[in-house]
Amino acid sequence: MDIISLRRANLRQAIDAKLKSEGFSSDAAFCEHYDLNPSHISQLVKGHGSFGERAARNLERKVGWEVGTLDQQPAKNLFGGESLANVPRVKARMAPVLSWVQAGTMTNVEAVDMSQVEEWLPIPDGDCEKCFYLKVQGLSNYPEFHEGDYILVDPTLPFCDMNSGDIVVVRKFDDATFKRLVIEPDGTKYLQAINPEFKPNIIPLDQDCEFVGEVVDCIRYVYRAKKKPRKI
């Protein structure tokens, strides 16, 4: 089942669960309670309206469902005719995929308008509520990171706790980049591209550089008959 069809099926079962558990008399009553447009919801369910990433995430937030709920499968394991409030929370949590421009103009993911985020990806188990993804551009850190990879950034970790060899994201004049942190025995700190062919290979850390966060995970999509994510 493609992602759009999955969202429609999940939404239908979720609404049915709400009708049963909360006593709504109809889809219209459900929509009125959550300040939703009945016509729009009907179109989403019946397949006549666009059901993209932004629409799914906005709907989840309005109703109070966990982000990514409408993308989970199989639908019967999520809803099963019961109220979502009585269904165990899905272990996989979602993090927004931000642009490098967004990463270069903030150091806290809370500064980003999440209603404008169009792509979300699951994050590993653990406490990473403010983590976000960035999509790798270029080959400066090849072969450890490929162009198109998604790196997971934790902006809550302090720079003073970083060690030599850690992969960090920094911004300089509203431009963000990620490189390996090098700390020399005398305390000198600089960034170094992993790809030895990248010029300049060494980037000094000066007063204009601001730490954004540490790269704590990476997802690589391997394109085959079906697109499957592989963590590295």
Determine the CATH number of domain 93-231.
2.10.109.10
- Fill in the amino acid letter for 171: R
**What pLDDT is recorded for position 158?**
87
**What pLDDT is recorded for position 189?**
92
**What pLDDT is recorded for position 3?**
79
- Residues 134 and 178: beta-carbon distance below 8 Å: yes
218-223: Cβ within 8 A, 24+ apart: 218/145, 218/149, 218/150, 218/151, 218/152, 219/121, 219/133, 219/149, 219/150, 219/152, 220/146, 220/148, 220/149, 220/150, 221/148, 221/150
Q: What is the pTM of this model?
A: 0.56
Give φ, ψ of 130 to 5 degrees. Answer: -105, 10
The rounded radius of gyration (Å) of the Cα atoms in the chain is: 21
Distances (CA, A) of 118 to 16, 95, 211: 27, 11, 25
**What pLDDT is recorded for position 86?**
39
All structural domains of the chain with their residue ranges: 3-86, 93-231
User: For the chain, how long is the longest CA-to-CA vector?
Assistant: 71
**What are the 10-residue block averages of pLDDT along the chain, 232 residues in total?**
76 82 86 90 80 86 84 47 38 75 57 71 72 89 88 88 92 83 92 87 82 88 49 54
